[in-house]
Amino acid sequence: MVSIDNLIKTIISPLVEFPEEISVSRQSTERFEEYHVQLAADDIGRVIGRQGHVIQTIRTIVYSLPVQAGNRVRLVVDDNKQ
């Protein structure tokens, strides 16, 4: 099975200026396997893209992967706002 964490990092790394600051964490809920991506503040716009086209493409790839237990995958980019 593909490691979704590594896939997300592999896809995002060439897009950002600070690839060493990419962090992916996973949280399981009843319906979803949520992957939260933390980036440098300057890189968030690069990953989201104009009108969200880049992140939507990444989500399409990630959502197509099979996940155990029949849960769906959700990809969240944390914007570091508290």
Q: Which residue segment(s) compose the domain that 35 sits in?
A: 4-78
Identify which of 37, 32, 41, 14 has the alpha carbon closest to the alpha carbon of residue 68: 32
Quick one: pLDDT at residue 72? Answer: 85
Arithmetic mean of pLDDT, 27-41: 90
Domain count, the chain: 1
Q: What CATH number is attached to the domain comprising 18?
A: 3.30.300.20
pLDDT confidence band for 28 (50 / 70 / 90): confident
Beta strands in the chain (DSSP E): 23-28, 32-38, 72-78
The residue that leads in pLDDT, 47 or 82, is: 47
Pick the range with the lowest mean pLDDT from 35-39, 58-62, 63-67.
63-67
